[in-house]
Amino acid sequence: MSYHNKPYHDDCKLQIEGLEVSRVQVTNFLGVLVGEILSWSNHINAVCKNVSKNNLDIYKVKQMLENNHLYMLYCSLILPYLSYACQMWGNTYKFQLHT
């Protein structure tokens, strides 16, 4: 992955010891999706998708469980997505948070 401030299409080929290294636009680094233009939109979208899915699961069982058990589910299924590495991606532009 090469990092830059604007999206562009470069046909540059990288080879290490004769083997071509494939280029990616997004990579997973310690659970955080990092894009080549260093925007957090891919990671934010993944967090939103996972939180939404887990929120639906909690909604389905909310009639069967007490509040303290629902809170435990929240702390185990949703809170980790919101709090992990939020210091890095939490300072993104406001327009990316409202997608």
Q: Which has the closest alpha carbon to 94: 46, 56, 40, 52?
A: 40
Rounded distance, CA 65 to CA 61, Å? Answer: 6
What is the rounded distance in angstroms from the CA atom of residue 17 to the CA atom of residue 24?
A: 19
Between 26 and 5, the more confident residue is 26
Over the Cα atoms of the chain, what is R_g? Answer: 18
Integer Cα distance of 63 and 36 in angstroms: 44
pLDDT at residue 8 tops 90: no
Whether this prediction's pTM lies above 0.85 is answered by: no
Q: Per-residue DSSP letters for 36-53?
A: TT--SHHHHHHHHHHHHH
Residue 53: per-residue pLDDT: 95
pLDDT in tens, 21-78: 888 888 888 888 888 887 788 888 898 899 999 999 999 999 999 999 999 999 999 9
Q: Note the pLDDT of residue 90.
A: 67
CA-wise closest residue to 1 among 31, 37, 54: 37
